[in-house]
A and B are shown apart, each in its own frame.
Chain A
C-alpha cells in the first residue's frame, strides 16, 4: 500500500508563475520529508528537505511546507523557470528507526516559456 502519494501525475505552469506540487502521506511516524527532482536518463537529485519539528523550509526559489495534522506537504517553486521542467518525487522516512525512504509516484512539471 502506497504510504506516500502524489495524486497529480502532471502540472503545467507559465514561466514566472508559482508551481505548487503536493504530496500526502499516511504514516504518522514519518518525521523527515524530502523532495527530489529528476530529469530523463538521470538519477533523482535531492532538492530540499524538512523535518517534522518545522512547518516550513526555504532554499532560494524552493519552499517546502509541512502540515502534520493533515499529513500533507507541498513544494512551492517561485518563480518557475523552464529549467524546472522535470519529474518531482516526494519522499518520507522515520529518522530514528529503520532505514527506508518511501517515495511517491512523481509529478511531471512542465514550465511553459
Chain B
C-alpha cells in the first residue's frame, strides 16, 4: 500500500449539512488529488494540490472546496451536502515526476439523504 489513509471510510449525512473528508499520506508526495467514482462516469477529478496551500480545480469542482495546510493532509469539504454528492470519494497521491502514476487510498463512501 502507498501509505494513504482516508477517513472516515463510510459516512451518512443529511442534505444541507457540511461534511469534511480527510486524506493523510506518509509518502511525502507533492501532489494530492480528490476523485469521485460514480456508475457510468468512472473516476472524475474534483480538486488537486501541487503543494502546501497550492490547489486547483478539476472537472467536477462545483460544491466542493479543499485545503492543504501540511504536506501530508488534504481535506475535501462539502459546504452544504446535496444528494448528487452521494458517491465514493478517492484520494490519490503522486510524485508527479514524468511517468509517475497515481496511488489511491481505499475510499470514503458518502451517502447524502
Residues of A within 8 A of B (CB): 4, 6, 32, 34, 36, 41-46, 49, 51, 89, 91, 95-96, 99-106
Q: How many chain B residues touch A (Cβ–Cβ < 8 Å)?
A: 27
Residues of A within 8 A of B33 (CB): 99, 101
The answer to whether B44 touches A103 (Cβ under 8 A) is yes
The answer to whether A42 touches B98 (Cβ under 8 A) is no
**Chain A residue at smallest Cβ distance from B97:** A95
The answer to whether A43 touches B107 (Cβ under 8 A) is yes
The answer to whether A89 touches B42 (Cβ under 8 A) is yes
Residues of B within 8 A of A32 (CB): 98-99
With A89-B42, A105-B42, A106-B42 in contact, do A95 and B99 touch (Cβ < 8 Å)? Answer: yes
Residues of B within 8 A of A104 (CB): 42
Residues of B within 8 A of A (CB): 4, 31, 33, 35, 40-45, 48, 50, 56, 58-59, 90, 92, 96, 98-99, 101-107
- Which of A4, A43, A51 is B104 in contact with, Cβ under 8 Å? A43
Sorted nearest first, the 9 A-B pairs with minimum C-beta distance are: A43-B104, A103-B43, A105-B42, A46-B101, A103-B42, A43-B106, A95-B98, A44-B104, A43-B105
The answer to whether A101 touches B102 (Cβ under 8 A) is yes
The answer for the CA separation of A101 and B48 in the assembled complex, in Å, is 11
The answer for the CA separation of A89 and B35 in the assembled complex, in Å, is 14
